[in-house]
Amino acid sequence: MPATVRDAAFAVLRRFGATTLFANPGSTEITLLTDLPDDFEFVLALHEGSVVGMATGWALAADRPAVAILHTTAGLGNAVGALATARVNRAPLVVLVGQQDRRHLALEPFLAGHRLDDVAAPAPVWVGEPPRPQDVPGALARAWHEARDHRGPALVIVPMDDWLAPAADDEPLPAPARLVRTTAAEPEVVAELEKFLSGAEKPVLVVGAGADDAESWHALEALAQRLRCPVWQEAFGARAGFPQDHPQFAGHLPAGRAELRKVLAGHDAVLAVGAPVFRQYPREPGRLIGPGTRVAVVTDDPDEAHRSPADLAVLARPAAVCGPLAERLPERPAPGGPVGRTIDLPAPPAPGTRLAPDHVFAALARRLPRDAVLVEETPSSRPLLHALVPARAPLGFLSAAMGGLGFAVPAAVGVRMARPDRPVVAVVGDGSSLYAIQALWSAAHYGVGVLVIVLANGRYAIMDELAARHGERSAGRGAAPWPAFDEVSVSGLARSLGCPARRVETPEELESVLDETMPGLAQADRPLVLDVAVAR
């Protein structure tokens, strides 16, 4: 039987080891997915946001592109928010989007996708619409490279009849079979950074998601030791760029300019590594930093380098620069006192006390394995989580850099699938969990041993807080028109999706279930949801 475009496409995916397919299929994908070859693994999610969320977690944990398959207009539209999150989280994804039969697209039949590239914009780093069926395999190969190099979703839009068309065996793929990157830093660049830091009396490091790998952590620890300086994590960072239990780790930068200037006051040189300069949230007037403070940034993200208001920007892999830089710098004298923060865990609450988020985080911090991956989506209590539960290993913390909800639960499932050697815990608010609760079905069906801790207060606490603050500023009452949703049972929803769940209402219950679950979390072969009632 002659080889088809589908056969050639599978061969391309095999070349890159991309044989795990995350999907919520529709009719335009039937010709691709029916009778899938035995060496491909199909992972079903019950909503397209969960498809992309799981693929995002998998890609970030595996550090290579994951493959997501979406239905035409409606499916792609459902996934747009998750695609935007993947773009900001710099997750490499190859996204196959179905399209109606090419032979009657001119008549705009039912399910015809109109301007699908615009539906997804501006999330994709690249969009391919092969002009003929035989160009589909080459578009997939290019998408894999585009996704990996630009760290985001690369889309390939494929009409459903293309898969069964004959392949073009005599034409080369329009993409390299192998692409090699140079990672060494130029000596003169390292010398310039050495001069930047050597001339400073009180330098400080700021680290971010772009430095979350073992080599960068090692280089940054050596650099911090040479400089004897505090190390701050970027605000709203998607990943940790430094061990947060290190004695020189100072905490997370504030996201407003006034507090940022206070934190960096007295430092005459700021070196940001794998982090933006500087991530903000509320709009505040004034300078980012005080006069007399110089800023340099080292990043492998061209966009991050191009938009940074810095005196010096170096576009390079952080480890390749910071390792040689640490070797060139002389070690400074030890400071007179500690430069980092201390973590004081609150005492366990009295028996029968209503749980609060800090109680949950303290109990988790006392038991969380060092190599655990913590996936976070609890907006109202995020600062508490940062203060009490440090990331102690690369990929130890993962969050949605873009800020959209519905990330943590599917991402945690994807992380665990890609890294079954790591314990994975998702900590989410009950409001956040409802945006992608369907991912629990996939976790249960495929035996993914992830622990999901839901802080259940029956409301959007962060929105209530923002409304109250707005009322204070505007001399209003801060009255919010949205109601609470106390009647929603996350544990009930989880069980309805086939996922084991327990309702936890007391400190004794919380400590008991964590003591029971944590020791075997790395070997767990089924998920568990803890629906933890917390005080408002």
DSSP secondary structure, 361-416, as one string: HHHHHHH--TTPEEEEE-GGGHHHHHHHS---STT-EE--TT--SS-HHHHHHHHH
In degrees and rounded to multiples of 5, residue 116 shows phi and psi of -60, -30
Residue 135 sits at the vertex; the CA angle it makes with 140 and 63, to the nearest 5 degrees, is 10
The pair phi, psi for residue 211, each rounded to 5°, is -110, 20
Looking at residue 345, its amino acid is L
- At residue 440, the 3 state secondary structure works out as helix
Q: What pLDDT, on the 0 to 100 scale, is given for residue 524?
A: 97
CA distance 205 to 310: 14
Q: Which one, of 266, 125, 275, 129, lies nearest residue 200 by Cα?
A: 266
Domains in the chain and their CATH numbers? 5-164 (3.40.50.970), 187-328 (3.40.50.1220), 357-533 (3.40.50.970)
435 close to 380: Cβ distance less than 8 angstroms = no
For 466, half-sphere exposure in the C-beta direction (CA atoms, 13 angstrom radius) is 10
Residue 51, SS3 per DSSP: helix
Say which amino acid occupies 342: T
Which residue is it, tokens 């088809």?
4
How does DSSP assign 230-245, residue by residue?
Answer: -EEEPTT-SB-SS-TT
Bridge partners, 536 (sequence order): none
Query: Residue 456 pairs with which residues in a beta bridge?
Result: 533
Token pair for residue 458?
A: 């029956």
pLDDT of the residue at 107: 82
How far apart (Å, rounded) are the C-alpha atoms in residues 287 and 442?
Answer: 47
Contact indicator for 502, 403 with CB cutoff of 8 Å: no
Encoded tokens for 352 = 């029968």
Give residue-wise pLDDT tens across range 83-141. Answer: 999 999 999 999 999 998 988 988 888 888 888 889 999 999 999 999 999 999 999 99
**Interatomic CA distance for residues 230 and 295, integer angstroms:** 15
- For 362-383, write each residue's pLDDT tens digit: 999 999 999 999 999 998 899 9
List the helix and strand counts (H, then E) for the chain: 19, 18
Q: Which whole-number Å values give the CA distances from 297 to 313, 395, 401, in the listed order?
A: 5, 22, 19
Average pLDDT of each block of 10 consecutive residues along the chain (536 residues)?
91 95 93 95 96 97 96 94 95 95 86 87 94 93 92 95 89 70 77 92 95 96 96 95 96 93 93 92 85 91 86 91 94 85 88 88 96 94 95 96 90 97 96 94 97 88 74 71 80 97 94 96 97 89
How many C-alpha atoms does 148 have within 13 Å on its Cβ side? 17
Q: How far apart are CA 149 and CA 264, in angstroms?
A: 33
Distance CA 93, CA 412 (A): 16
Whether residue 278 is preceded by a cis peptide bond, meaning omega within 30 degrees of 0, is yes
The structure tokens 């060139």 sit at 328
Give all strands of the β-sheet with 93-99 in edge-to-edge order.
41-44, 20-23, 66-70, 93-99, 153-159, 126-128
Residue identified by tokens 């399209």 is 99
The amino acid at residue 11 is A
* Alpha carbon distance 155, 136 (integer Å): 12
Tell me the C-alpha to C-alpha distance, in Å, between residue 291 and each of 264, 266, 280, 308, 414.
11, 10, 19, 17, 45
Answer yes or no: are the C-beta atoms of 454 and 490 closer than 8 Å.
yes
479 in Cβ contact with 467 (< 8 Å): yes
Nearest to 463 by CA among 431, 427, 504: 431
Res 181: pLDDT: 61
Contact (CB, 8 A) for 445 and 44: yes
Instruction: Kindly write down the DSSP assignment for every residue of 283-338, as one continuous string.
Output: ---S-SS-TT-EEEEEES-HHHHHH---SEEEES-HHHHHHHHHHHSPPPPPPSS-
pLDDT at 1: 67
- Give dist(CA 492, CA 502) in Å, integer: 9
